[in-house]
Amino acid sequence: MKEFDYHQIDDVIHSRIRLAIMSVLISIDEADFIFLREKVKTTDGNLSTHLKKLEDAGYVAVNKSFVNRKPISRYMLTQKGRKAFEIYVEHLENLIKKK
């Protein structure tokens, strides 16, 4: 097996909840907070904390608006986030490939 440096794995993505968020967002254009909460199966506070970390890293962008006086937050991956996710997956693939 080819030697692998685990330090190459992106610590921002390499959390179960953040990985789940990125996995959901990679396949769709955008998702609102409630949709993400249901897909990821976590609490509002936990989801909010992990979304903020992804946003601070520049991996996720948020668009906040109001509909009938109700706040709506819609999230999407940025180009930087898409690239980081692709690299993350490549590193995992390299880890499990036998050479």
- Does residue 4 have a pLDDT over 80? no
Residue 75's DSSP bridge partners are: 31, 62
pTM of this structure: 0.88
* pLDDT-derived band at 39, boundaries 50, 70, 90: very high
- Does residue 82 have a pLDDT over 70? yes
Average pLDDT in the chain: 91
- Classify domain 6-96 at the CATH topology level: Arc Repressor Mutant, subunit A (1.10.10)
Q: How far is 51 from 54, CA to CA, in rounded Å?
A: 5
Amino acid 1: pLDDT: 41
Burial call 55-76: b when 16+ CB within 10 Å, e when fewer: eebebbbeeeeeeeeeeeebbe
Residue 77's DSSP bridge partners are: 60
- Does residue 95 have a pLDDT over 90? no
Order of strands, edge to edge, in the sheet holding 31-32? 31-32, 70-77, 60-67
Q: What is the dihedral of CA 10, 11, 14, 17, to 10 degrees?
A: -130
Query: What residue spans define the domains of the chain?
Result: 6-96
85 in Cβ contact with 26 (< 8 Å): yes
